[in-house]
Amino acid sequence: MSAAAGLAAPAGEASYPSLVDRGVLITGGASGIGAAMVEAFVRQGARVAFLDLQAAAGEALAAGLAAARHPPWFAACDLTEIDRLQAAIRDAEAAVGPLTVLVNNAANDQRHAVDSVTSADWDRAMAVNLKHQFFAAQAVRSGMRAAGGGAIVNFSSIAWQMGLPDLIAYTSAKAAVVGMTRSLAREYGGDGIRVNAIAPGAVLTERQLALWLDEARLADILARQCLHERLLADEVARLALFLAADDSRMITKQCFVIDAGLL
């Protein structure tokens, strides 16, 4: 049992005292890895705000965590509409206090045959997987500076390193996230803001299992991983906790792969 949050934590989850009462914003937090991170930060006693296009799922998640030390705040938001994103970030600050942790998680790995990709497909992929990450980071900088520092965790993917088929726009965006992370770490370091990225492997979320991973594909992935176990969203959430906490205070400008050795 987490003393900070009053909710049961999974076996093996560390406790990070520096996250207690800390203002945390998570994008794409209504499902999958995002939902696992919302729950993990709430269990740590953080003041969590999360944004997602999926209103019903977000509201249900928030309601399920209502007994926490700090019940999470949720707002439905299309992150590709930058003005609305920035307004939602201001609302989040008003709801949970100064934001000193930003987790840029929202993404969409829509498949397209390479010869069928249109200009609209490309622009949509950049908007969903890259553009909002920069503008969210830009929006929280002044508040983090005033607070004496903070941590930003961007989400990339090992897909760009693997050169997977039918994902050219997605992998291009996810490769760019790593470059953006390194540049932001340099730009923001003087404000005491650390910027890192996480590149997950084949995380078995409900979406992946429903759309892409049949039993044969899953068996192939598990065989190719060094660790022949299913990679779950909770494992990624634990890495995000570490990168947000003061325990990683001298780590910045890095991209951390969590893929059970698939690469």
Instruction: Point out the residues that are catalytic.
Output: 170
Backbone angles phi, psi at 53, to 5 degrees: -75, -25
Burial class (CB in 10 A: 0-12, 13-18, 19+), 182: middle
Q: Residue type at 53?
A: L
DSSP conformational letter for 7: S
Residues 37 and 63: their CA atoms lie apart, in Å, by 16
Judge contact between 159 and 170, C-beta under 8 A: yes
CA dihedral sign of residues 207, 209, 214, 218: positive
Contacts for 131 with CB less than 8 Å, ≥ 6 apart: 80, 82
Judge contact between 8 and 66, C-beta under 8 A: no
Contacts for 128 with CB less than 8 Å, ≥ 6 apart: 79, 80, 106, 107, 108, 173
